[in-house]
Amino acid sequence: MSLPKLGEEDDCLSVEALDFLSAKLAAPLPASKHFLSVTLPAPMEAPEKFLRLVPRKSGFLWRAMGRQQFAGGGIAGEVKVQGADRFAKLSRTVPEFFSHIATFAFEGQPPPPVLVGGAAFAPGVPSVEPWEEFVEDAFVLPRWGFRRHGGSASITLSVHRDELASPERRMHILDETRALTRAFEYETATSLIERIDLAHATVHHLPSSEWRAYIDAIHAAIASGEYKKIVAARRCVVNLQRELEDTGFMARIFAAYPDCTHFAIRRDNSTFLGATPETLFRKRGLGLETHALAGTTRISDDHRTDSSRDVAALQSSQKDLGEHDLVVQRICSELAPLTTSLHYASSPSTRQVRNLVHLQTPISGELRPETTVFDLLAALHPTPAVGGFPAREAAEWICQNEPLERGWYSGTVGWIDASGDGEFAVAIRCGVLTRSRAYIFAGAGIVQASDAAAEYAETGAKMGPVLRALGVVF
Angle formed at CA 405 by CA 400 and CA 411, multiple of 5 degrees = 100
| Residue 317: strand, helix, or coil | coil
| Residue 382: strand, helix, or coil | coil
Is 289 in the active site?
no
Contact assessment for residue 393 and residue 338, using Cβ atoms and an 8 Å cutoff: no
Cβ atoms within 10 Å, residue 431: 27
State residue 387 phi and psi, 5-degree precision.
Answer: -115, -60
| Residue 363: strand, helix, or coil | strand
State residue 216 phi and psi, 5-degree precision.
Answer: -60, -40
Which of 24, 49, 133, 229 is flagged as catalytic? 229
Contact assessment for residue 213 and residue 73, using Cβ atoms and an 8 Å cutoff: no
Distance CA 380, CA 278 (A): 12
Distance CA 398, CA 119 (A): 17
Which of 278, 334, 402, 405 is flagged as catalytic? 278
3-state secondary structure 41-91: ECCCCCHHHHHCCCCCCCCEEEECCCCCEEEEEEEEEEEEECCCCHHHHHH
Contact assessment for residue 185 and residue 10, using Cβ atoms and an 8 Å cutoff: yes
Contact assessment for residue 155 and residue 42, using Cβ atoms and an 8 Å cutoff: yes
- Contacts by 459-462, CB closer than 8 A, 24 or more apart: 459/232, 459/233, 459/234, 460/205, 461/298, 461/355, 461/356, 462/356, 462/428, 462/429
* Nearest of 53, 58, 75 to residue 268 by alpha carbon: 58
Burial of 145 (0-12, 13-18, 19+ CB in 10 A): buried
The radius of gyration computed from the CA coordinates of the chain, to the nearest angstrom, equals 23
| Residue 26: strand, helix, or coil | helix
Contact assessment for residue 158 and residue 97, using Cβ atoms and an 8 Å cutoff: no
Strand-pairing partners, residue 39, are 105, 156
Is 319 in the active site?
no
Catalytic residues: 229, 278
